[in-house]
Structure 1
Amino acid sequence: MRISAPHVLHVAQPVEAGVARVVTDLVAAQAAAGLRVTVACPQGGMLTDSLRVPDCTVLPWAATRAPGPRLPGEVRRLARLVRDVRPDLVHAHSAKAGLAARLAVRGRLPTVFQPHAWSFEAADGVVARLALGWERFGARWAARVVCVSEAERRTGERSGIAASWRVIPNGVDTGRFRPEGDSARSGTGPLVVCVGRLCRQKGQDVLLRAWPEVVRQVAGARLVLVGDGPDAERLRRDAPASVEFAGPASDAAPWYRAADVVVLPSRWEGMALAPLEAMACARPVVVTDVDGARESLPPSGQPSCVVPPEDPGALARALTALLRDEPLRAALGAQGRAHVLLAHDLRHATDAVTDLYRELLGVVPAPVVPH
C-alpha cells in the first residue's frame, strides 16, 4: 500500500539541548511538507515548548533519561501510545527512546533509530557492555539507523552493529545563526564561549583545567559557559573568577556572535550542533577529535582547531593561538560560514530525512503544480 501523506511518530526522551533542537527542526520541516506529525516525549522543557506548530500533536510519554526499573512500564506506555496513534513510521531519537521504541514496536512498523552519539561511549565497564549488546541486538528492529556523521557510522560498524545505515549530517538554520544580529557580550577582554549541556560528555571540566594557562598567556581573557546540567554545581566550585556561568539560553546565537572563539571539548559526539552554529555565525571554533568533529569543519580548516580529547594542554595551546591571531580568526570565521552554507544548511538535513521516510514507505510525492 502506497501512502501519500505519511503519519510520523517521533519519540524522544531528552527535552533539552541538541536532540530537542533536532526534533524541533524536523517536525517543523515535515509539517510544512504536508506530513502528519506526532511527538511523544516527557512533559516540560524546551522540546514541548517549541513544538507549537500547526499539524503537530504532542503526547506525554513519561520516561527517565537512563534505563532502569521503570523501563518495562515506559515500554508498555509507549506501545499503547503507538497503538492509539497508528503512525505509518516511528522515528526514535537517542539511546533511551531508541531502546523503548524498538522494544515497543519490534519491527511491526518501519522504525528509524537515530542515536545522536552512541550510548556505549557514555559508559564504562558492565554498563557499556550491556549498552553495546543491546545496540547489536536492537539493530534488527530498525529499518534504518541514521548517523549524523560517517565517523559515527564507522564507530557502530567497528563495534559489531549490523544495521542498514544512512548518514545524514546535522544541519543548522543559517538564517537564525548568522553573523548579523544581537550580541550578548558584556565586559572587555578576549572572550571564549562554550555552549553545551554541563555534563561529562561535553568536557567542560577539561576546559576549566586548561583555562588558567590561557589566562596566563592572554591578558584579560574571559570564558563563558552557556548551558545547564548535572555537573553545574561541581564546575562552579572549580571555576576561577574569569569564568562566567550564563545558564541555559533559549537562543545561543547572541553568545556565538559575542565570542572571539567558540570551544567544545567533548569526550564523545555524533556530530555536535554547537560548532556548526558557531561557524554559521562566522566564528572560529576549537573542537576535540571525536566522531563528527573533522567532518563538521571546512576541508581547509586549521589542524590546530582540532585537539585530542581529555588534553588540557593541547586545548590551552589551541585557544591561546587563536586569541592571539585576529586575522586568522576572521579568516576561519569566513571559511566556516561558507562551509556551513554549502554542507550543513538545515534544509539539506530535513529534506534528506523526509526522503528516507518516502523511501521506506513507498510514498508518492505530491505533484508539482505550475504557477
Structure 2
Amino acid sequence: MTSQQEPIRVLHVSQPTDGGVAVYVTQACRDQMRRGWEVAVACPAEGTLPGNLRIHGVPHIAWTAGRAPGPKTLAESRQLHDIIGRYRPHIVHLHSSKAGLAGRMRTVHGTPLIFQPHGWSWLAARGAQRTASIRWERFAARRAKAVICVGEGELQQGQQAGVDAPYALVRNGVDLRRFQQADSSARFAARRLLGVPAEKPLAVCIGRVTRQKGQDVLAAAWPRVRERCPDAQLVMVGDGDMLRRVRVYATDGIRFVPPVADPRPWLVAADVVTMPSRWEGLPLAALEALAIGRPVVGTDIPGLTEVVTPDVGALVPMDDPAALGAEVARRLLFPELAEIEGKAAAQRAAGFDAMRTFAQLAVITQDLATAAYPVAGAPGTAYGREPVAQPVTRPASARPLAEAGPGVGAD
C-alpha cells in the first residue's frame, strides 16, 4: 500500500527506439513529468530514444528485446517483469507489439497494464503467423485494463478481428509549438541548409525503410514521376531492413539520407511529402508534414484516411506505383496546387494538437492508477483534468471500460 503523498509512478515500455513510437513515448513522459508524476522507460539501449530520455531527465532502464517474437521472447518477458518488480510502478504502459507480448505473457498481480498497439501485430504478419497474432491479441486483451488506439481505424481493426478489449480512443497529435507552417522563404532557407537545389521540384519521404512504410513502391513509382517531371528530386530519410533492397532498385533523382533527430528541415524543404505505407496506426509523420504546411500523398489505408483529406493531398491504392507516381508528379508539376493544399494542411493539423492527446492519456492513466492504489495526483495537478468527451462505440460482446472510470472514451 502506498502513501497518499506519493505521486503516480508510471513505467513505459517500448521495444522501438526510433520513429513515431519513440517520439510518442518521449512526449508522453515529458507531459507526465510536468504533472509531477514519476516516470521511467524500459527499452533497448540502442536507437535515439535513450538519448532523448537523458536530455529530458527521464530515467532509462535497459531492457534487451528484439523486434520480432522468437525463442528469446520468454527471456525478454522474464527480464521485463523483473524490471517491473524492481521499479514497482503504479501502472505499466506497454507500447507496440513486442512490449505488449512480453508484458502480457505473465500476469502482473495488482499492477494495472495499459497496452497501446501503435499498429496491430497481425498487420505485419502473413499466413499462420497472422492467425497466431490475432489469437494472441484476443487472449491478451483481458490482461490490460485499457487498450489505447491512436486512431479510429486502428480501433475498428481490433474490433473486426474479434479482439474483445476495454478500448479507449486517444488520437495521435502533433506538437504544434515545434511544427509550424513554413512559407516559401523558409523552404529556400532549408534547402540551402540541406544542400538541395532551390529550383528543383522536391518530394520527401521520412520513415524507417521497411515493408510497412512502402519505400519500395515509391522507388518503383519514381521513374514515372521523372517521365513527367524530369528535374524532380526525391529524398528518402531513414534506415531499416529494406534499405539495401530499395537502393538496388532506385533510379536517377533519388537521394538517401540517414535518420535525423529533427525532421523539420526536410519537411520545410519539400514541395510534397509522400507516405506509401502498407499499414499505419495514425502516423505522426503525416501530422508533422501537414503542420509544416506540406501536402501529403499517401496510401488509402486506415490511419492515413483519418489524416489526409482531399483538400490536403491525395490517397492512392496500396502497392500501386502508377497511381502514386501520378499524384506525386501532379504536385511537383503544379506548385500552385501544392501551395493551396499546404495552407489547408496547416489548418487541418490544428485539430490534432498533442497537448490534447496527452491530456486525454493522463486522465486514463490517472484513473487506472488511482483505482488500484491510493496515490496522489487527483484532479488539480499540472494542466488540470481534461476528460474524454464520449464513450467509444463497441460491439455488443466487448467489455466496457467501467474500471477505468468516466475519463475513457473517444474525443
Aligned position for 2:137? 135
Aligned position for 2:217? 206
Matches within 5 A, 1:37-48: 37-48=39-50
- Which TM-score applies when normalising by structure 2? 0.85
Contact 1:79 1:105 (C-alpha < 8 Å) held by counterparts: no
Aligned position for 1:317? 326
Aligned position for 2:179? 177
**Distance in 2 (alpha carbons) for counterparts of 1:307 and 1:179:** 25
**Distance in 1 (alpha carbons) for counterparts of 2:110 and 2:317:** 42
**Distance in 2 (alpha carbons) for counterparts of 1:367 and 1:65:** 36
Tell me the CA shift for residue 324 of structure 1. 2.1
**Distance in 2 (alpha carbons) for counterparts of 1:354 and 1:139:** 21
Deviations 1:327-350 (A, max 9, x none): 221121111111112x21111111
**Distance in 1 (alpha carbons) for counterparts of 2:5 and 2:336:** 54
Tell me the CA shift for residue 32 of structure 1. 1.1
Aligned position for 1:186? 196
Tell me the CA shift for residue 219 of structure 1. 2.5
Q: Residue 170 of structure 1 aligns to a residue in which SS?
A: coil
Tell me the CA shift for residue 156 of structure 1. 0.5
**Distance in 2 (alpha carbons) for counterparts of 1:368 and 1:234:** 48
Q: Is 1:215 paired with 2:211?
A: no
Selected match of 1:301 from 288, 293, 311: 311
Matches within 5 A, 1:1-371: 5-52=7-54, 56-106=58-108, 108-180=110-182, 183=190, 184=194, 186-187=196-197, 188-298=199-309, 301=311, 305-341=314-350, 343-362=351-370, 363-366=377-380
**Distance in 2 (alpha carbons) for counterparts of 1:185 and 1:306:** 30
Tell me the CA shift for residue 13 of structure 1. 0.3
Contact 1:8 1:35 (C-alpha < 8 Å) held by counterparts: yes
Q: Residue 136 of structure 1 aligns to a residue in which SS?
A: helix
Tell me the CA shift for residue 54 of structure 1. 5.8
Tell me the CA shift for residue 221 of structure 1. 0.5
**Distance in 1 (alpha carbons) for counterparts of 2:164 and 2:349:** 31
Deviations 1:254-311 (A, max 9, x none): 000000000000000111111111111100111111121121135x626x60111111
Structure 2 unmatched runs, 5+: 371-376, 384-411
Contact 1:185 1:259 (C-alpha < 8 Å) held by counterparts: no
Aligned position for 2:406? none
Tell me the CA shift for residue 124 of structure 1. 0.4
Greater displacement, 106-115 / 144-153: 106-115
Tell me the CA shift for residue 107 of structure 1. 5.8
Question: In 2 relative to 1, CA 107–195 (structure 1 residues): closer, same or farther, beyond 3 Å?
Answer: farther
**Distance in 1 (alpha carbons) for counterparts of 2:305 and 2:251:** 31
Deviations 1:230-255 (A, max 9, x none): 11111111111210001111111000
- Superposition CA RMSD, Å: 1.8
Tell me the CA shift for residue 56 of structure 1. 2.5
Aligned-pair identity in percent equals 40
**Distance in 2 (alpha carbons) for counterparts of 1:217 and 1:259:** 18
Tell me the CA shift for residue 92 of structure 1. 0.3
Q: How many residues are treated as equivalent by the alignment?
A: 366
Question: In 2 relative to 1, CA 164–3 (structure 1 residues): closer, same or farther, beyond 3 Å?
Answer: farther
The 4+ residue runs of structure 1 with deviation greater than 6 A are 1-4
Contact 2:13 2:99 (C-alpha < 8 Å) held by counterparts: yes
**Distance in 2 (alpha carbons) for counterparts of 1:208 and 1:3:** 56
